[in-house]
Amino acid sequence: MPSYTLALLPGDGIGPEVVAASIKVLDATLEKLTDVTFRYDELSVGAGEYLKNGDPLPASAVERMKVADAMLLGAMGLPSVRWPNGVEMTPQIDIREQLDLFNGLRPIKLYHASHSPLKGYGGAGEKTIDFVIIRENCEGLFVDRLRPREPNPEFETDTMKITRHGAERVCREAFKLAQKRRKHVTLVDKANVLPSMAFFRKIFDEVAEEYPDVGTDRVYVDAMSLFLVQHPEKFDVMVTENMFGDILSDLAAGIVGGMGMAPSGDIGPEYALFQPSHGTAPTIAGKGIANPIATILSVALMLEWLDTPETARGARLIESAVAAVMGDPANLTTDLGGNTGTDAIADLVITAL
Ligand code: ATP
């Protein structure tokens, strides 16, 4: 009987609340599956751990992540807890790099017209929003953020690094995903200005030849910001570098209700971590009003990734329950303009399983 160990990294801010609500949903889902069990290994990682013990990502925690079958993360970092150079601690980015979680999967789906600021989407007979952004997680513009630097009062630089290996593997993931969906991949880049992006496009074009059944197009990142607002229904799978993916996934979340509706998976050759796309939302932490749907949907992504018929069935059960609950405009969390709390939404999802 498959028995999985799930490393839980609740983290800071609203992380612990949304993880607890999602584990309740996972436990209820497991009751409906045959012979699938989970053991939870809770790890202390993040700004809170730094304040307690001086390291936001202890090596011992990383070792325990490596022996788990998957990881579920809440949110990490707090605005008041920073390194001496002024940047926030971002153990969630360090984990991606240390565990080579290069494939940043960000599904974007609209469940009800009232969640979107765009008109003409999500109602009966209206257009739908249903696409996936694949963000390269291990290189791009974030790549040398940890490079030791001499303090210079006049300038600072960051480097955009695209390697053949990194670009090839992330583009292949985009094409493989598109083959299971509507068979279209859009490359998002800035190939008209940046040589690193022209290189990314060249590799994308080479990989595209391996997948003749998948259609392609290429859009500059500035134009994509416009198109995501004007006609998001036209996109199926997008692939882009780290920083562009970071920015576009927030924009994309905004058109389906906000960060509380956007799940993600960070997947590598050996390990995989699932987490809501949002951060710690410190202003609402501890109030019981955080929207847990992004984390619940991240649990569904995890079950799908575990890739057995029963875990895949569990993923579908959660997705359908979320669609039923969030498809009812009576069930709105505060970020969507309602007043249903974190636990109440999780309980509704459990009832709908
Ligand atoms: P961080 O610095 O950790 O990224 P943040 O608050 O700056 O935190 P996000 O957490 O991504 O950034 O949140 C952006 C906005 O969306 C905030 O106004 C936050 O309150 C809101 N928000 C994010 N996640 C949720 C959620 N799950 N439920 C309700 N509101 C949320």
Whether ligand 1 lies within 6 angstroms of the CB of 284 is answered as: yes
Alpha carbon of 187 to ligand 1 centroid (Å): 27
- CB of 279 within 6 A of ligand 1: the answer is yes
Question: Ligand 1 pocket: which of 259, 264, 336, 340 to mutate (most atoms <8 Å of CB)?
Answer: 259
Protein residue with its CA nearest to atom 29 in ligand 1: 290
Q: What's residue 193's pLDDT?
A: 97
241 in contact with ligand 1, CB cutoff 6 A: no
Instruction: Give the separation between CA 86 and CA 349, rounded to whole angstroms.
Output: 40
335 alpha carbon to ligand 1 midpoint, in Å? 9
Q: Report the nearest atom of ligand 1 relative to the CA of 280.
A: 3
Cα separation of 33 and 310, whole Å?
6
CB within 8 A of 15, min separation 6: which ones? 9, 46, 73, 74, 75, 76, 280
Domains, the chain, in order of start with CATH, read 1-102+263-353 (3.40.718.10), 130-143+160-254 (3.40.50.2300)
Which residue's alpha carbon is at the smallest distance from atom 30 of ligand 1? 335
For residue 258 and ligand 1, the question of a CB distance below 6 A is answered with: yes
Q: Does 77 contact ligand 1 (Cβ within 6 A)?
A: yes
Q: How far is the CA of 305 from the centre of ligand 1 (A)?
A: 26
**Digits of tens for pLDDT over the chain (353 positions)?**
779 999 999 999 999 999 999 999 999 999 999 999 999 999 999 999 999 998 999 999 999 999 999 999 999 988 888 877 777 888 888 899 899 999 999 999 999 999 999 999 999 899 999 999 999 999 999 988 878 888 889 998 999 999 999 999 999 999 999 999 999 999 999 999 999 999 999 999 999 999 999 999 999 999 999 999 999 999 999 999 999 999 999 999 999 999 999 999 999 999 999 999 999 999 999 999 999 999 999 999 999 999 999 999 999 999 999 999 999 999 999 999 999 999 999 999 999 99
Burial of 132: CB neighbours in 10 Å, binned 0-12, 13-18, 19+: buried
The predicted structure's pLDDT at residue 13:
95
Pocket test for ligand 1, best of 19, 335, 343, 345 (most atoms within 8 A of CB): 335
Cβ atoms of 116 and 137 within 8 Å: the answer is no
For residue 71, report the distance from its CA to the centre of ligand 1, in Å: 21
- The one-character DSSP state at 89 is P
Which residue CA neighbors atom 31 of ligand 1 most closely?
260
Q: Is the beta carbon of 278 within 6 A of some atom in ligand 1?
A: yes
CA of 349 to the centre of ligand 1 (A): 22
CA of 283 to the centre of ligand 1 (A): 8
Q: Given ligand 1 and candidates 19, 78, 88, 278, which is best to mutate, with the most ligand atoms within 8 Å of its CB?
A: 278
278-to-70, 84, 140, 163, 242 alpha-carbon distances in Å: 19, 25, 21, 28, 16
Length reported for the chain:
353
Residue 149: its pLDDT value, please?
84
What tokens were used for 24?
């309740």
Q: Which burial class, exposed, middle or buried, applies to 194 when counting CB atoms under 10 A from its CB (0-12, 13-18, 19+)?
A: middle
